[in-house]
Amino acid sequence: MQNAINYSKSIAVKGNYDVLVAGSGPAGICAAVAAAREGAKVALIERYGVVGGNLTTGYVGPILGMVGKGTMRDELVKLLGVPQNDMIGETGRAHDFEMAKILLAEFVDHPNIDVYLQTTVTDVIKEGQTLRGVIVTAGEGPFALMGKIVIDATGDGLVSFLAGAPTEKGRDDGLMQPVTLEFTIAGVDESKGVICIGDVDNVCLGEERFLDYCKRLADAGELPQHLAAVRLHPTTHSGERQVNTTQQNGIDMTNVDQIYKADLALRRQIRTLVDFFHKHLPGYESCRLISSGTTTGVRETRRVIGDYIITAEQMAAGCRFDDVIVHRAEFIVDIHNPAGAGQAEDHIQYCDPYDLPYRCFTPKGIENLYTAGRCISGTHRAHASYRVMSICMAMGEAVGVAAAMCASRGCCTRELDVKALQNRLTEKGIELYG
Ligand SMILES: Cc1cc2nc3c(=O)[nH]c(=O)nc-3n(C[C@H](O)[C@H](O)[C@H](O)COP(=O)(O)OP(=O)(O)OC[C@H]3O[C@@H](n4cnc5c(N)ncnc54)[C@H](O)[C@@H]3O)c2cc1C
């Protein structure tokens, strides 16, 4: 069997842009809109047929975490109609995913943005160590998009990986957080139906802690052990729950051989869970499955090593940096157990509101490339905090403005005057200091 072939082809250059944004999740949409509002000509490239990433196709909610005042996170939370959340989601409600598909499509509808849907980034165009563009594949075949600055908001850090930036995955043994398919059920009796936001929640069913009840039933064989951490979030609609409970361990979603099997197993778990709810959860007897993620929810894959690597210990202490571009980011170190059910650590690490420095967004050794979202430069434990969507939105906005500034000033990402970037962010009303 042949193991490799050489392949070359002449392809069209379909557009020249100031800023290319790969991926339209919470980080990518904010990056694209922020750059466009600064006057940059932007291409937003998304492999699926809808923008939003985990806000839509991944079916992930509620929007968790906090950041300093004045970012696009505030704008999006308002747009999606979710109440001001607390940091860990105790009062949080998942947004309406179907409405989000419309609202976010409108959000990125800006005269300076060309949105390329159903278009997958497959390679990069480099001159030495400087990024010049990307190769994409769409229904019409492959073509190139050239850009002065590229933002890797693919979640998986794919653009950075293709560009040759160093990347890491998972914890020291290589295991990553489990993948999950979130789903929504309707028909829950609100007068009886429990809400449980996760391991930090001590809500009770009668006298017993709800999560202990689920564990006891799992021990009795009524539920697979790895599904015993039953997380049931409210949504913006009465009688609905957003269920964040299915999980498959030991999966690397950057390995295509593993994806279908994981998805099949997760979809089967949805059936198991709904049966369990019918049988064992007061108020859930008549609930029904109404929708689920169209793609597996991926918590963790590549982290792109940048000019600085932030750690959870720094974040826990509320670190500050001279080159801050995201201020007062706040969330727990939320590690869903890579090797079993529930949380990986026996106590939850809280973080004081922390800063993310510019250097976490510049992949080591590569020029004119930024990362944004869950793939930025940090350790496995640090990632478990900054990966939440509020923080990813603020990251996207900050690098979107940075990219637009590089493009208009004709400078590289490492030549950008970070003070000027900070001034521009504060001018826009974004809190960066204090
Ligand atoms: C099951 C689960 C539960 C979670 N729970 C919560 C929660 O309750 N609250 C919360 O705030 N966060 C939660 N998170 C974390 C959060 O959803 C993610 O970390 C966050 O969405 C990351 O944002 P992002 O923009 O970096 O990536 P994503 O949201 O993953 O978006 C990346 C986008 O890039 C696109 N893309 C990827 N590769 C390519 C390519 N080659 N070409 C073109 N496009 C590409 C993808 O299709 C996608 O649209 C959860 C995550 C999971 C998986």
Best residue among 389, 395, 399 to mutate for probing ligand 1, ranked by most atoms within 8 Å of CB: 389
Looking from the CA of residue 136, the nearest atom of ligand 1 is 42
Residue nearest to atom 17 of ligand 1 (CA): 54
Comparing CA positions, the residue from 30, 17, 27, 24 lying closest to residue 112 is 17
* H or E element at residue 218: helix 210-219
Looking from the CA of residue 29, the nearest atom of ligand 1 is 25
pLDDT of 85: 67
**Burial, 206: exposed, middle or buried (Cβ in 10 Å; 0-12, 13-18, 19+)?**
exposed
Q: pLDDT of 149-198, one tens digit each?
A: 999 999 999 999 999 999 999 999 999 999 999 999 999 999 999 999 98
Distance (angstroms) between ligand 1 centre and the Cα of 354 equals 21
Looking from the CA of residue 27, the nearest atom of ligand 1 is 25
Q: pLDDT of 81-115, one tens digit each?
A: 987 767 776 678 999 999 999 999 999 999 999 99
Ligand 1 residue neighbourhood (C-beta within 6 Å): 22-28, 45-48, 53-54, 58, 60-65, 120-121, 153-156, 158, 180, 182, 244, 297-299, 373-374, 387-389, 392
Print burial letters for 360-373: b (CB count within 10 Å at least 16), e (below 16). bbbbbebbbbbbbb
Given a cut of 70, the residues of the chain with pLDDT beneath it are 85, 89-90
Q: Taking the domain 13-173+300-427, which CATH number applies?
A: 3.50.50.60
pLDDT of 357: 98
Domain-by-domain residue ranges, the chain? 13-173+300-427, 183-292
Q: Is the dihedral of CA 332, 161, 366, 116 positive or negative?
A: negative
pTM over 0.85: yes
